């Protein structure tokens, strides 16, 4: 009888959990205007950082800014959209940072000719704002965006970032055999490099591999995250990059999680997903605050 008396209580608890989950999801939807939110931040949508219609970004920042703040560029994966980073953009602003979720062109091929310049332009736009400290910049990207973030952390010149969060993104293209079996193998050749193979132009592949450009002058702190079941980007893409960064005295952290599903295998339970998000947020917060 005691067991039966618990059943209604359990049913009520499950219902409350379902309703709470629904409310959380609805609250995470981006507002349709650029008014300040109740959390003390402002969000401006579809700001042009260039003349092309695709060159737009969403800007999140605290309402009241004194002086200049550290900032973060948020770079979506291939075929994605800046809306993928809306909730993270908000969270960074709530933590006292300026954040820009960036859209960029991915065509025509070879796409490196538009992807990299667009993200450089977005970064330059962000650094030019008087409320942004140009010497305290981070980049946070996923998949293709993780690759671009790594490029921004190793590039020579004024637009290098100081903190990099590469989430399951490639770091080098100089070993074509490593990509055998990955659905991305042909896509890299045909779209990113415009049909030019490594054998035809190895220097082209080296020029666009962050690993090749690692030096002691690069971003000082790096976080890499990936699912242990990632079907697209080999684990060695991260481990070899970490080895190179450590060899020149830079700080790295590698966090793996057991996701499921296709592609990058990023299907996670609520608590595991929250732990992963917190790991990434803590890294960026601590890195930027240490500069």
Nearest Cα to Cα of residue 218 among 162, 143, 277: 162
In a domain, 22, yes or no: no
In a domain, 26, yes or no: no
pLDDT tens-digit profile, the chain (291 residues)? 333 333 333 333 333 333 334 333 333 333 333 444 457 999 999 999 999 999 999 999 999 999 999 999 999 999 999 999 999 999 999 999 999 999 999 999 999 999 999 999 999 999 999 999 999 999 999 999 999 999 999 998 888 999 999 999 999 999 999 999 899 999 999 999 999 999 999 999 999 999 999 999 999 999 999 999 999 999 999 999 999 999 999 999 999 999 999 999 999 999 999 999 999 999 999 999 999
What's 258's domain CATH number? 3.40.50.1820
Looking at the 3D structure of the chain, how many domains does it have? Answer: 1
In a domain, 157, yes or no: yes
pTM above 0.85, yes or no: yes
Sorted by sequence, the CB contacts under 8 Å of residue 245 that are 6+ apart come out as 214, 218, 222, 251, 252
In a domain, 146, yes or no: yes
In a domain, 211, yes or no: yes
Range of the domain at 68: 36-289
In a domain, 193, yes or no: yes
Nearest Cα to Cα of residue 258 among 238, 233, 281, 276: 276
Nearest Cα to Cα of residue 90 among 82, 207, 164, 236: 82
In a domain, 160, yes or no: yes
């Amino acid at each position: 009888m005691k067991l039966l008396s618990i059943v209604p209580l359990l049913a009520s608890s499950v219902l409350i959990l379902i309703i709470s989950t629904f409310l959380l999801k609805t609250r995470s939807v981006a507002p349709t205007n650029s008014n300040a939110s109740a959390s003390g931040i402002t969000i401006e949508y579809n700001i042009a950082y260039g003349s092309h219609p695709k060159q737009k970004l969403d800007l999140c920042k605290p309402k009241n800014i004194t002086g200049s703040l550290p900032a973060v560029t948020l770079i979506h994966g291939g075929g994605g959209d800046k809306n993928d980073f809306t909730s993270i953009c908000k969270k960074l602003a709530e933590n006292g940072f300026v954040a820009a979720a960036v859209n960029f062109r991915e065509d025509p091929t070879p796409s490196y000719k538009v992807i990299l310049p667009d993200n450089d332009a977005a970064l330059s736009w962000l650094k030019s704002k008087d409320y942004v400290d140009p010497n305290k910049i981070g980049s946070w990207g996923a998949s293709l965006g993780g690759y671009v973030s790594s490029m921004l952390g190793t590039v020579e010149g004024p637009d290098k970032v100081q903190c990099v969060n590469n989430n399951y993104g490639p770091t080098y293209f100089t070993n074509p055999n490593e990509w055998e079996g990955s659905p991305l193998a042909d896509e890299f050749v045909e779209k990113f490099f415009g049909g030019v193979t490594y054998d035809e132009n190895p220097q082209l592949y080296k020029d666009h591999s962050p690993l090749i450009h690692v030096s002691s002058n690069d971003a000082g702190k790096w976080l890499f995250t990936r699912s242990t079941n990632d079907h697209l980007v080999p684990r060695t893409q991260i481990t070899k990059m970490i080895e190179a960064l450590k060899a020149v005295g830079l700080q790295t952290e590698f966090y793996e999680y057991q996701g499921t599903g296709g592609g990058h295998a990023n299907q996670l339970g609520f608590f595991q997903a929250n732990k992963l998000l917190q790991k990434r947020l803590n890294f960026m917060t601590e890195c930027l605050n240490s500069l």
